[in-house]
């Protein structure tokens, strides 16, 4: 029971920050970027903005970027001068599954927290 409580409290922290995927898959750069893009899926961002948003260097973003685009998880939306803007590709089946997984984890965590709050 203690492990479940610890696990739930970790999810509660993640739920507050809305970084559900990071809590499940670890704190690596790809997961941070996917969490950021899914949370901000209605807006597009430059790689620099993404870098600042997830608190990693731009070189780390550039290193993982090809794998995200090769899988179709990220798409270029527009250009403003020399700057390219990107967002999560919600047409991608993988992106849809990641979003669904993230929402399911959040829902389950909320249910678990509510059951712990009941006397």
Contacts of 119 (CB under 8 A, 6+ apart): none
53 with 45: CB under 8 angstroms? yes
> Domain for residue 24, yes or no?
yes
Domain presence at residue 115: no
State pLDDT tens for residues 27-65. Answer: 699 989 998 999 899 999 999 999 999 999 999 999 999
Helix-helix angle 2-17:93-117, to 10 degrees = 120
pLDDT of residue 52: 96
**Where residue 28 sits, what CATH number does that domain have?**
1.10.10.10
Whole-angstrom distance, CA of residue 65 vs CA of residue 11: 27
Tell whether 79 is covered by a domain.
yes
Residue 36 domain flag: yes
Domain hosting residue 69, numbered range: 2-104
Average pLDDT over residues 3-16: 37
CA-closest candidate to residue 1, choices 103, 112, 104, 118: 112
Give the model confidence (pLDDT) of 81-115 as tens digits: 999 999 999 999 999 999 998 888 888 877 777 77
pLDDT confidence tier of residue 23, bands split at 50, 70 and 90? low
* Residue 110 is assigned to a structural domain of this protein: no
Please state the domain count of the chain: 1
- pLDDT score, position 48: 96
* Residue 117 domain-assigned (yes or no): no
Task: Indicate the helix (H) or strand (E) that contains 29.
Answer: helix 29-39
């Amino acid at each position: 029971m203690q492990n479940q409580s610890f696990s739930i409290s970790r999810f509660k922290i993640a739920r507050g920050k809305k970084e559900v995927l990071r809590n499940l898959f670890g704190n690596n750069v790809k997961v941070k970027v996917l969490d950021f893009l899914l949370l901000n899926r209605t807006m597009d961002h430059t790689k620099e903005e993404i870098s600042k948003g997830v608190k990693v260097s731009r070189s780390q973003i550039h290193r993982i970027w090809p794998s995200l685009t090769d899988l179709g998880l990220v798409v270029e939306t527009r250009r403003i001068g020399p700057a390219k803007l990107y967002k999560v590709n919600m047409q991608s089946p993988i992106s849809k599954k990641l979003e669904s997984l993230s929402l399911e984890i959040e829902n389950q965590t909320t249910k678990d927290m509510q059951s712990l709050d009941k006397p």
